[in-house]
Amino acid sequence: MKSIGWIGTGVMGLSMASHLMDKGFKAYVFNRTSSKAQRLVDKGACLCASPREVADKADIIFTIVGYPKDVEEVYFSESGILKADIEGKVLVDMTTTEPAIAKRIYEAARLKGASSLDAPVSGGDRGAREATLSIMAGGDQDAFERALPCFQAMGRSIVLEGPCGSGQHTKMANQITIAGTMIGVCEALVYSRKAGLDMDRMLATISKGAAGCWTLDNLAPRVLRNDMEPGFMVDHFVKDLGIAIKEAGLMSLRLEGVELAKKLYEELQGMGLGRKGTQALALALDKVIENADNK
């Protein structure tokens, strides 16, 4: 494949598309706020007026947008991808969204002679910048193999998890794990500060033992620097946890830990911190402790 389309040039998408351009792919790009795609245009990408125009021009089309409603608009609206001539092309949605939407895209693409993959990612802004993302795909083997050279330009761990929707279900498992981990890491930071520990020394110590994890290595240091800018936004994490709870309900499961995490993150939204990174949970937990001290 000689050309790629890229729709969604936010915190993650900008770096991911840039890596593909570095590998020699001609790029057609679209973003609702066109200025956010300017760095790619300056690099040689062609700015398009709609997702449909991107899909008409590119061989393989990638999307990474914010919410399920955005995915539906990008694919199913009158100016969407599925209104383009997509026969023989591959559509790859890298947004974290609902498995049911991935299945709708798959069926609609198949009826037009195209293939689709749901391929959400994990690794945050740093993983996107450094091309070390974990990519979890759902769809057909042949479509996966066609997209694989592109995936290899963006990530390190690249796995076809199963049929369409499997990538999204795997991402839900990822987010469920992170939900509990984030609470543990942020509570540890708040506890350690209250105990008067040397925070850097404490982190260096526990990260070498059983507590060691990506969140501790990558996000805890940001908290110590008071850096709450997003690698992954609170608003998007609340969205993901809502999807996990919904999907669990469809399987007659209750995820009480995820429900607690969602409640805590909704408190962050109530504090006006929805566009901060998930590590900002430490601020909400700090506030709880301060309130308890003042009683």
Note the pLDDT of residue 111.
98
Residues in contact with 83: Cβ distance below 8 Å, sequence separation at least 6, in sequence order: 52, 77
| Helical ranges in the chain per DSSP H | 13-22, 38-42, 51-57, 68-76, 99-111, 124-130, 141-154, 166-194, 199-206, 214-218, 220-224, 234-250, 256-270, 281-293
Per-residue pLDDT tens digits for 156-175: 999 999 999 999 999 999 99
Q: At what angle do helices 68-76 and 99-111 cross, to 10 degrees?
A: 10
Collapsing DSSP states into helix, strand and coil, what is residue 162?
strand
Tell whether 16 and 133 lie within a shared domain. yes
Tell whether 150 and 254 lie within a shared domain. no
Note the pLDDT of residue 292.
40
- Find the catalytic residue in 26, 36, 112, 171: 171
**Which single residue is written with the structure tokens 């759902």?**
138
CATH (domain of 128): 3.40.50.720
Note the pLDDT of residue 291.
42
* Number of structural domains the chain divides into: 2
Phi, psi torsion values for 44, nearest 5 degrees: 120, 0
Tell whether 50 and 192 lie within a shared domain. no
Q: Which residues of the chain fall below pLDDT 70?
A: 1, 287-295
Q: Is 171 a catalytic residue?
A: yes
Cα distances (angstroms) measured from residue 86 to each of 13, 26, 67, 146, 184: 22, 17, 23, 15, 46
Tell whether 8 and 153 lie within a shared domain. yes
CA dihedral 236, 237, 238, 241 (to 10 degrees): 130
Question: Pairing state of beta strands 121-122 and 26-30?
Answer: unpaired
Query: What is the domain extent for residue 215?
Result: 169-293
How far apart, in whole angstroms, are the C-alpha atoms of residue 237 and residue 255?
16
Note the pLDDT of residue 231.
86
Note the pLDDT of residue 1.
58
Question: Pairing state of beta strands 133-138 and 121-122?
Answer: antiparallel
Closest among 222, 231, 220, 226 to 277, alpha carbons compared: 231
The domain boundary residue, chosen from 162, 187, 219: 162
Note the pLDDT of residue 286.
74
Note the pLDDT of residue 289.
41
Tell whether 101 and 187 lie within a shared domain. no
Phi, psi torsion values for 18, nearest 5 degrees: -60, -40
Tell whether 147 and 10 lie within a shared domain. yes
- Torsional sign, CA 191, 230, 15, 137: positive
Tell whether 76 and 178 lie within a shared domain. no
Note the pLDDT of residue 266.
96
Cα distances (angstroms) measured from residue 247 to each of 142, 161, 183, 252: 28, 17, 22, 9
Enter the pTM of the model.
0.92
Contact 8, 95 (CB under 8 A): yes
Tell whether 158 and 183 lie within a shared domain. no
Tell whether 35 and 142 lie within a shared domain. yes
Tell whether 179 and 154 lie within a shared domain. no
| DSSP assigned state of 274 | T
The domain boundary residue, chosen from 128, 162, 196: 162
Helix (H) or strand (E) holding 6: strand 3-7
Task: Tell me the one-letter amino acid at 200.
Answer: D
Tell whether 157 and 220 lie within a shared domain. no
Contact 15, 128 (CB under 8 A): yes
Per-residue pLDDT tens digits for 240-251: 999 999 999 999
Tell whether 136 and 27 lie within a shared domain. yes
The domain boundary residue, chosen from 113, 128, 162: 162
Residue 283 has which token pair? 């601020």
CATH (domain of 201): 1.10.1040.10
